[in-house]
Structure 1
Amino acid sequence: MALTLAGCGSSGGSGAATTDTSPPTAAVQQTTGAGAADASGLTQQEKSAITSAYETFFSGKSDAQTKLGVIEDPDRFAKTINAQSSSGLAESTSVTVSEMSLVSPGRASVVYTILMDDKPVLPDQTGYAVKVDGKWKVSASSFCGLLTLENGGTPPAECAAQGGAPAATSAPAAPTS
């Protein structure tokens, strides 16, 4: 797991409450036309934005500043992300997003798999994306969940200080070839 997080630079999952800055009308979805939400409650544009945030955040090709631009509460995680981005393992990390659905206005659940050298190392993780200032970002809680997993189940300081333990994250499975 340490290798995975060192490679991805960060992820989140703190069970801490997230402040939703989007107006209540943002939850109203169109039912027809190009901007229509599907059964997930998200439009294709929102799905693309969420997928892009996750792919950017977990890409070994993204530098620390780029990762900080797609995570909620970047100041809270700057030290960790900067430290992890200098890992040589970072270059081989990527992510695939398999599912997502709107759970509340400005908050979507996301099922994703972290890959190293295109092999799954943390399959079917559940995280969240949050809308901050009109942009979808990887939630702080999702990153805290992965940091806590890496830390043997103990939330690191940047997560523990924000309201306790992260949301449950499944244990890593053995990589498949």
Structure 2
Amino acid sequence: MIAAGVLALALTACGDDGGGDGAAPTPTAETATSAEPTPSETPSATGPADPAAAEKEIRKNWATFFDPASSTAERQAVLENGELMGPVLEAFSGDERGQQVEARVTEVEFTSATGANVTYSLLMKGATVLPDSAGTAVEQDGTWKVSVKTLCGLVGLSGNASQLPGC
């Protein structure tokens, strides 16, 4: 199953910091930092009207998306185009190990009023398995969501992303 491949790769990940414009962000395996995340405090000319509230929502929604206790419907609600991404979510969430993965957002950097780069670590049973990964969040229909690019980047670690609709 795809999620098994993703997690197997995550446990031994050696990625690079891919992800230019239009490319899916590639989770990276860099040295973990011990710095505590701090919310954005000053508005950016290219960020949302309330960056602190947007960052708080991004962190909350990423936690929901990667929470093993979240249902598919809850994950779809915080995933860009979630209603269209059911097959990818099922593949990602259907594996036993996939149900043990969580994410911890460490940094949010707004790139526009509706986009942000997100640095996060994947954890399995509380242990970091993929530190300092690069992803993106998008504001869609008034909600900050995990981008399809991020999910497909994770699925792509298995080499099977092209076999799933949406990736």
TM-score (norm 1): 0.65
Q: Which has the larger radius of gyration?
A: 1
Equivalent position to 1:99, from 79, 95, 107: 107
Structure 1 residues 86 and 147 mapped into 2: Cα distance closer, same or farther (>3 Å)?
Answer: closer
| Over 4 Å off, 4+ runs | 13-17, 38-42
Shift of 1:87: 2.7
What code does the residue aligned with 2:97 have?
L
Q: What is the letter of the counterpart of residue 120 of structure 2?
A: Y
Structure 2: 5+ residue stretches without partners: 8-18, 24-39
- Alignment root-mean-square deviation, CA: 3.1
Would the aligned equivalents of 1:4 and 1:93 in 2 still touch at CA under 8 Å? no
Letter in 1 for 2:72: A
Given that residues 113 and 120 in structure 1 are in contact (C-alpha distance below 8 angstroms), is that contact kept between their aligned partners in structure 2?
yes
CA distance in structure 1 between the partners assigned to 2:85 and 2:20 by the alignment: 12
Runs of 5+ consecutive residues of structure 1 not aligned to the other structure = 7-12, 18-34, 161-177
Native 8 Å contact 2:47 2:110 kept in 1: yes
Aligned position for 1:128: 136
For 1:56 and 1:5, the matched residues in 2 are separated by 19
What is the number of residues matched between the two proteins?
Answer: 137
1:32 matched to which residue of 2? none
Which one-letter code corresponds to 1:37 in the other structure? Answer: T
Which residue number in structure 1 is paired with residue 67 of structure 2?
Answer: 59
Q: Is the contact between residue 4 and residue 116 of structure 1 (CA under 8 Å) also seen in structure 2? A: no
Q: Which residue of 145, 154, 157 corresponds with 1:146?
A: 154
State percent identity of aligned pairs: 28
Structure 1: how far apart are the matches of 2:162 and 2:20? 8
Question: Are 1:37 and 2:42 matched, yes or no?
Answer: yes
User: 1:158 aligns to what?
Assistant: 165
Deviation at 1:75, TM superposition (A): 2.9
**Preserved CA contact (<8 Å) 1:53 1:137:** yes
Q: In the alignment, what sits opposite 1:80?
A: 88
Residue 113 of structure 1 corresponds to 121
For 1:91 and 1:2, locate their aligned partners in 2 and report how far apart those are by CA, in whole Å: 9
Give the whole-Å Cα distance in 1 for the aligned partners of 2:107 and 2:71: 26
